[in-house]
Amino acid sequence: MTGSEMAKAGLLEQNRLSGANRNTLIAGGIMANTAEIFNFPVPDVAQKEPRVADLDDGYTRIANELLEAVMLAGLTQHQLLVFLAVMRKTYGFNKKLDWVSNEQLSELTGILPHKCSAAKSVLVKRGIFIQSGRNIGINNVSS
């Protein structure tokens, strides 16, 4: 056995005893079993002061009878979110009707604008919304 073969055999035996596998042996030496540590940037997250909802910051009045009728209407999630957004944009500003774009509804609900449009159309067809030209509002006749 030549000197380099003996060295290689010694390294293999040393690897076997230390628990390392044969793949760590490379051309004439040993590949180090070390890990490179990455320091990922950590966002600066300052503790926010808890915010408490306050009626002085605004509120939306809705009749209990209307709210209960909506709860029993069997609306889909998108329809319910669009209903609440239109309620916020109308009743929240003491208006019966207002022009609310699909983009505004999308911003409030997190739903894509074309999905807001589809939900709004269904609510108009079901008589839950009333529409006058471009303006839309809530049909408060609950019978």
Mean pLDDT, rounded, for 89-101: 94
Separation of alpha carbons 59 and 53, rounded Å: 10
Residue 115 belongs to a domain: yes
Mapped onto helix, strand or coil, the DSSP state of residue 136 is: strand
Domain that holds residue 16: 1-36
List Cβ neighbours of 80 (8 Å cut-off, separation of 6 or more). Answer: 70
Residue 120's pLDDT is: 96
Residue 30 belongs to a domain: yes
pLDDT at 27 exceeding the cut of 70: no
Residue 22's pLDDT is: 47
Are residues 89 and 129 part of one domain?
A: yes
pLDDT at 54 exceeding the cut of 70: yes
Residue 44 belongs to a domain: no
Residue 132 belongs to a domain: yes
Q: What percent of the chain has pLDDT over 70?
A: 76
Residue 46 belongs to a domain: no
Are residues 130 and 65 part of one domain?
A: yes
Residue 143 belongs to a domain: no
Predicted confidence band at 37 (pLDDT cuts at 50, 70, 90)?
confident
pLDDT at 28 exceeding the cut of 60: no
Per the structure, the count of domains in the chain is 2
